[in-house]
Amino acid sequence: IHSLTEHQLRGAPTFAPTRLTQSEFVNRLGRACRLGDADVVASLLDERHALDWLNLPGPDGATALHEAAAGGSVKIVQDLLLPSGADPTIEAGFLGTPLDVAIDRLAKLQRTAPINRRREQEPDLQLLVCLLQTTNIWQASLEGDLGRVRHLREYEGMRGDERNRYGGTALH
């Protein structure tokens, strides 16, 4: 048994899989993040230019992190986007930051959803908000932005002493 296909044996040209263009990548990643499709997101993050294109906005100005927050995709935010370098501080026009998007989604759920749906989805959305809040103070701390750290602590109620999975804190 040969590993060559019949077309290859006949001399027909073979085609390598096509690489995604920048706009195709951004659109597919945003859609997968909003729909919570972690397998597709992981696959796209393996693309050659993924890290260069991760924080680029889609046609509506939203990044993949905005889309994941809008979709309530905690796993994608926590396990895929943030470790790959998604920037939680990017503002997308009228949407604001990914944190703003997550807070809006949580508030809408609390206002309009039936109680059984709230019980099912609220813990994940609260975790997402917490994750993005902590990320903002961590980001500000890592960048040495004392003004933003002060603002987040005084006006947004972030303590900065929450421990990450390695035991460190933003102010540590």
For position 169, what pLDDT does the model report?
66
Tens of pLDDT, residues 94-147: 888 898 899 899 999 889 989 888 889 888 888 888 778 766 677 677 677 788
Calculate the average pLDDT of the chain: 81
CB within 8 A of 124, min separation 6: which ones? 72, 74
For position 92, what pLDDT does the model report?
87
Contact 64, 51 (CB under 8 A): no
Report how far residue 100's alpha carbon sits from residue 131's, in angstroms, rounded to the nearest whole number: 12
